[in-house]
Structure 1
C-alpha cells in the first residue's frame, strides 16, 4: 500500500497515459505499455498532464497544491484519530455550459438530468453495478462519499467550431466559449462537440482543487460521452463525468500516471499502468517485486464505463477533505 507523500510530487507528475489490458502486468520502466486499441475504444483524459504544465508555470499554483495536500493529509490523520466526525452530505451546485454546432451536440435537458443522476448514484454508492465489487475490495469500498450534485442552471451557446482542444478556449467568451459562472461556488461543466488530439479523442479533462475559483476551474466533456442516451459505446454510461469530477475533487489516476506510481491513496493497490476495455478479475500486477490484484474497476482507471463501479474509502477521505469547511473547495458549500 502507498504512503501519502505529497511534497515530492509537486513537480514530479509524469504524463504517462499508457494503457494495457493484458491479464498480468509486470513493472518494466523501459517497456512501453501502450495498447494497440484504436482511440475510439480507449479512454483519454489529459487532466494530469495539464496539471503538471500548470504547476510548472505557476509558483502560486505550486504553493496552493502543497497547502492542498498538507490539509488533505491532516484531514485523513484527524479521521484516523477520531477527531473528525462524519458531517452532513455536501450538495454541489452545477452549471452545465453547452457549446453546440449541430442539434446532436446540443445535449438535451433530459441528458443533463440523466448525467446528474449518474453522478449522484456513483458518488452516493447507490449505482446498480456496485454489487460487482469483488469480495477482496468490499472492505475498502467507499460507500456513500457524502457528495451530491444539483443542477443550478444550463447555459447554451451556438458556435461554428467543429472541434475544440484542451487549451481552455471553451471557457472564455472572448475565444468563442462560455465564461464560467462563479467557479468558487459552482462546479462548471462545459460540454463541447469533440476534442481530437494526436493521441486520439479526448473524452474529458478537469482542473484540480488548487485551481479553485480561477476562471478556468471546472470539467470539460465531449458531447458523445456526456450522459447515457445517444452516447458512444463503450463510454455510454456517464462515467466520463464521474472520472473527471473525481479529479476536480482531488483524485489522481489510480496508477499515479507513472509506472507503479503513487495516487496518494493508501488503500488502492499499486499498479503498473492504466487498464482499458473490460479486464477480467483478478488482474495481477507486479511492482517492486510484489504481485497484487489491482482495482481496475475503480472510477479513476481507464476501463470502459461498464467495467468501473467503485471508489475506495481512501479516495472518499480525499474528496471529503476538499469540500470540508477547511478545504480548497469549501466555497461549494455556501449556496
Structure 2
C-alpha cells in the first residue's frame, strides 16, 4: 500500500468522467453506445484556477485539516444524512428524466455508500480487510425541472447559473445538488471538489447515465457514475492519482499504473513499485459500472473528515 502524499496541484483538481466516443449534439446520438470512461478534469481545474487563484490555498488548508482529522480519529460516527436536490434541464422528453429514474440514483447511492450493493461480496479476499461501509445516507428532497433549447451544456458550470439558462444550486452548504442534462463533448459527469465556490457546488451527470432506468445506457447504466462523482464531491481522488503510479492520498489503496477500463480480469498487477494487485473494482477507478463495487476504510476516513467540525462540509454532519 502506498504512503499518503500531497500535491497542491492534485488537491486543486475537480473531477469529471468522460467517454472517448464522439457523439453529435442531436438527441439521436443518445442511441450510440459508450464503451469506456475517460477524464476531462484538467480542463475543469484550469478554468477554476484561472477564475480564482486563491483556490490553491483553500485546498491546501482542507488537505491539512483532513490529515489532522484522520490522525486524531476526530471523525463523525457515520451518522450523516445528505439531503439531495436534483435539477433537471431538458430539451426533449427523454432528457426530462422520470422521478423513478431520479429515485433509482438515490437508491444506488444509498446501497453503494452503505455496503448494501449486491456485488459488495464480490470484493476479492485480498481486499476484504479494507472494504468499507461508508455509512452515509442520501434522501431526495426536491426535484426542479426546467425546459431549455440548449443542445449541450459543457463543463463551464453554465447549467448551474440562472443567467445562462441553468438552475442555481439550492442551499449548497447543506444540500447536495445534482444536475441532469446533456453535458456534451463526450462527458459522463463531473463533480466539484470541496473548497470550490458554493455557487457552483455539486455534481453534474449526463441524463443518459443517471440512475438505473429510462435513458440510462449500458455499460454505465447502474448508477455508478453518480457514486464515482459523489466520491469526488466528498474529497476522493481518482485511485491512480491522475498520474502514472500517482497517489490518491489514501493509505490502503494500491498504487495503480493508470486508470483501468472495461471489466479487467482479476488479478490485474501494477508495474509500479512492488507490483501490487490493482483495486480495479474501486468506485474511483474508470471501470464499467458492473465492475466497480467498493470503497476502502481509508477512503471512508477521508470522506468522513470533511464533515467534522471545521471541515468544508461540516454543515452536513452531526
Distance (Å, rounded) in 1 between the aligned partners of 2:110 and 2:229: 14
| Counterpart selection for 1:196 from 180, 184, 192 | 184
Mapped contact 1:124–1:147 kept (Cα < 8 A): yes
- Find runs of 4+ consecutive structure 1 residues off by over 3 angstroms: 7-19
Q: Secondary structure at the match of 2:179?
A: strand
Change (3 A) 1:124 1:233: same
Q: CA deviation at 1:108?
A: 0.6
Deviation of 1:2 (Å): 2.3
> 1:87 offset after TM fit, Å?
1.7
Gaps of 5+ in 2: 20-31
Q: 1:137 matched to which residue of 2? A: 127
In structure 2, what is the equivalent of residue 99 of structure 1?
89
Residue 121 in 1 paired to residue 115 in 2? no
CA contact (8 A) 1:163 1:195 kept: yes
Query: Does the aligned pair in 2 maintain the 1:298–1:309 contact within 8 Å?
Result: yes
Partner of 2:25: none
Within the candidate set 173, 193, 196, 2:162 is matched to 173
Shift of residue 328, structure 1, vs aligned partner: 0.6
Q: Which residue of 2 aligns with 1:27?
A: none
TM-score w.r.t. length of structure 1: 0.85
2:150 is aligned with 1:161: yes
Offset, 1:299: 0.2
Matched residue, 1:25: none
Is the CA contact (8 Å cut-off) linking 2:15 and 2:190 kept in structure 1? no
Per-residue CA distance 1:13-46 (angstroms, 9 max, x = gap): 6999999xxxxxxxxxxxxxxxxxx982111343
Distance 2:164 2:51 in 1: 22
Is 1:64 aligned to residue 88 of structure 2? no
In structure 1, stretches of 5+ residues that fail to align are: 20-37
- How many angstroms does 1:195 deviate by? 2.3
Aligned to 2:2: 2
Query: What does the per-residue CA deviation read over 1:143-181, in whole Å, with 9 as the maximum and x for residues that have no partner?
Result: x21211111110000011111200111001110111111
Decide which of 34, 39, 42 is 2:36's aligned counterpart.
Answer: 42
- Partners of 2:14 and 2:201 in 1: CA distance: 22
Q: Which residue of structure 2 aligns with residue 146 of structure 1?
A: 135
Q: Distance in 1 between matches of 2:209 and 2:18?
A: 20
Deviations along 1:89-115, whole A, 9 cap, x unmatched? 100111100000111111111111111
Where does residue 73 of structure 1 map in the other structure? 67
Alpha carbons of structure 1 residues 89 and 233: separation in structure 2 relative to 1, 3 Å:
same
Quote how far apart the aligned CAs of 1:326 are.
2.5
Q: Are residue 331 (structure 1) and residue 315 (structure 2) matched?
A: yes
- The answer as to 2:264 corresponding to 1:279 is yes
Contact 1:16 1:257 in 2 (8 A): no
Structure 1 residues 222 and 284, CA gap change in structure 2 (3 angstroms): same
- Aligned position for 2:22: none
- Pair 1:332–1:49, CA change in 2 (3 A): farther
Please state if 1:184 is matched with 2:173: yes
